[in-house]
Amino acid sequence: MLALIAAAPGCANAPRSTPVQLSIWPPVQLVPEDWDVHGFRLTLPYGENRDVAGLDLGLANIVEARASGAQIGVLWSQAEWANGAQLSPLFNFAGVLHGVQITAIGANNAGDVNGVQIAPLVNSSVTDLQGAQLAVGGNDADTLRGAQVSLLNYSQELHGAQIGLLYNYAATMRGFQFGLMNFSKSASGVQLGLLNFIQDGPLPFFPLVNLSFSRRPAQY
């Protein structure tokens, strides 16, 4: 029925979309991968579509372009651009994330993030993150404007706070580091921990508390 509607006169150039999609394994699905879904998609076990707006539920959810709403995957969820929530036990991926990624036992990965990543293992933002990363294992963000909380935290450029039980690293730090060991090449802020290192600071090393208010950018 959906295919007949798309083939009707005057519909050739219309955007192809459906309110409901059921996928077993592409191309075994109600509508092809290049259709949009505005409503509900169920993938058992695997499905692909261009855009999905609404609820995306299944074992492995793949959206080639934009996912708006909620992706809930038994294994993983993936979208080039995610607006909303990605919830999966193992793995979530988004090229750009505006919202939240939560995984129960695995990891989250995204390019640009404006929101929150929560994982027991690792959170990663390849470029910029505005928001927060919360993990047990570790957090990684190239440029961070916000907070990282984990055992291990890493950022090339930090504007905000790192709270790490074991180790915090920021090449350039503007803000606050709290952990057993803190390291920064250039800093304008405060470090609290057993071992505190600011490579270009007035005190390259000082226990318990170290301060620096340099404005010189670090050389990566």
Q: How confident is the model at residue 3 (pLDDT cuts 50, 70, 90)?
A: very low
**Is 95 among the domain residues?**
no
Q: What is the pTM of this model?
A: 0.86
Output the average pLDDT for the chain: 90
Q: Measuring CA to CA, how many Å separate 152 from each of 67, 136, 143, 165?
A: 30, 8, 16, 7
My answer on whether 69 and 114 are in the same domain is no
98-125: pLDDT as tens digits = 999 999 888 899 989 999 999 999 999 9
What DSSP state is assigned to residue 1? -
135-157: pLDDT as tens digits = 999 999 999 999 999 999 999 99
Q: How far apart, in whole angstroms, are the C-alpha atoms of residue 22 and residue 41?
A: 6
Q: How confident is the model at residue 2 (pLDDT cuts 50, 70, 90)?
A: very low
**Is 218 among the domain residues?**
no
Q: What are the residues whose beta carbons fall under 8 Å from the beta carbon of 17, sequence distance 6 or more?
A: 35, 36, 37, 38
User: What range does the domain containing 74 cover?
Assistant: 17-88
**Is 178 among the domain residues?**
yes
Confidence check: pLDDT of 51 > 80 = yes
**Is 148 among the domain residues?**
yes
**Is 217 among the domain residues?**
no
State the DSSP H helix or E strand holding residue 18, giving kind and residue range, or none if neither.
Answer: strand 17-25
Backbone angles phi, psi at 180, to 5 degrees: -60, -45
User: Based on the structure, what is the number of domains in the chain?
Assistant: 2
**Is 1 among the domain residues?**
no
**Is 160 among the domain residues?**
yes
Q: What percent of the chain shows pLDDT beyond 70? A: 90
138-198 and 122-135 as β-strands: parallel, antiparallel, unpaired?
A: parallel
My answer on whether 84 and 129 are in the same domain is no
Determine how many CB atoms are found less than 10 A away from the CB of residue 140. 22
Q: In this predicted structure, what is the pLDDT of residue 211?
A: 93
Q: How far apart, in whole angstroms, are the C-alpha atoms of residue 66 and residue 83?
A: 8
Determine how many CB atoms are found less than 10 A away from the CB of residue 124. 22
